[in-house]
Structure 1
Amino acid sequence: MNTIPFITVEGPIGVGKTSLGKLLSEHFQYYLLKEIVEENPFLGKFYENIDEWSFQTEMFFLCNRYKQLNDINAHYLSKKIPVIADYHIMKNLIFAKRSLQEKELSKYVRIYDVLKEDLPTPNIIIYLHASLETIIKRIKKRDRDIEKNISSLYLEQLSSDYNDVMKDFQKRHPHIPVLTFSGDTLDFVQNKEDLKIIIAKIKDTLNIGAYTNESEK
């Protein structure tokens, strides 16, 4: 593939997106774009009362991700510098459709459609999924204060939403490879062999050797 690699890692809360993005960035020596999470001033309140704080929370995320993606397009991709991001802009709709009321969702979607028009499009998506048990275990392990009030039902619903959206995405965008990996069977943080499986699949899919300065770690 001749285009500059722009890889995004997606999946539900706690599945390991940021950890994998960091490991891949270190291996390929690509710029890592990390989403803003804990900086969202509404997130803690959102997990305590979704109905009350959903619109403010989702708008904060949308505006920040829009700014981040515009910046990496201007400062990295346009200068032929490969990028790995630990999110795809599509996640905004996944969360918004789960948490917003119909009237607010309608407003949100209109804003989303306008903002995403000129954003860069990834040429590969890595989709991580895992069982609810694994996700809860990992959320507890990272021990973020703002995530202590997340309900199991909300996490389960999000996982289901992600599965549906990724299936639909593959149908609508067959030219963008989606590489799917299970967090239940692969521990890419603790097991280097598991990480090598993912790295090999990425290299095979995008033929990105010309754009990498790979680490021997």
Structure 2
Amino acid sequence: VYEDAYIFADNLHRMGLMSGRDFDTYMSIFGLITNLVPRPDLLIYLKASVPTLISQIRRRGRAYEMNIDEQYLRRLNYRYDDWIEHIYRGEVLVIDKDREDFVADAAVMEKICARLDRKREELETAKK
């Protein structure tokens, strides 16, 4: 829900592919929805550079992704970083996909799971 509004819809609006009126309406509806749905206890942010994203897209081999513009990916990355750093107010666990390839290395996944367990314990302790 958050990504769609703050990253994708915002990006489409800035690219001129969504009118100001439509964007404002979308964000009003988003505001109503987010008031009804509790914020997640923890957001997991899979952060990746554009070269890593392109590599993953090519590796997946999905035809509809093959022509994604590199500049589009740069804009999305900027939007994600801005959202995480300045807008989102919840807890975030950042996984650096440039350095932590949990798909290729099971040991990396184990380390991430250990980080998640520690974070969960911190959050549970904070609630008490």
Whether these two folds match at TM > 0.5 is yes
How far off is 1:169 after superposition? 3.7
Structure 1, unpaired ranges of 5+? 1-88, 209-217
How far off is 1:101 after superposition? 2.8
Is 2:121 aligned against 1:207?
A: yes
Q: Within 5 Å, which residues of 2 pair with 1:1-217?
A: 89-93=1-5, 94-99=7-12, 100-169=18-87, 173=89, 176-207=90-121
How far off is 1:103 after superposition? 2.2
SS in 2 for 1:180: strand
Give the distance between the partners of 2:87 and 2:25, measured in 1 at CA.
23
Task: Summarize deviations over 1:45-79 as a string: whole Å, max 9, x none.
Answer: xxxxxxxxxxxxxxxxxxxxxxxxxxxxxxxxxxx
Aligned residue type for 2:119: T
Bigger helix fraction: 2
Aligned residue type for 2:104: Q
- CA-atom RMSD in angstroms: 1.6
SS in 2 for 1:120: coil
How far off is 1:117 after superposition? 2.0
Task: Summarize deviations over 1:150-186 as a string: whole Å, max 9, x none.
Answer: 111001110011001001245xx2xx32111211111
SS in 1 for 2:101: coil
- Give the TM-score normalised by structure 1: 0.50
Q: Which runs of 4+ in 1 moved over 4 A?
A: none
Structure 2, unpaired ranges of 5+? 13-17, 123-128
Give the distance between the partners of 1:148 and 1:193, measured in 2 at CA.
30
Give the distance between the partners of 2:63 and 2:34, measured in 1 at CA.
31
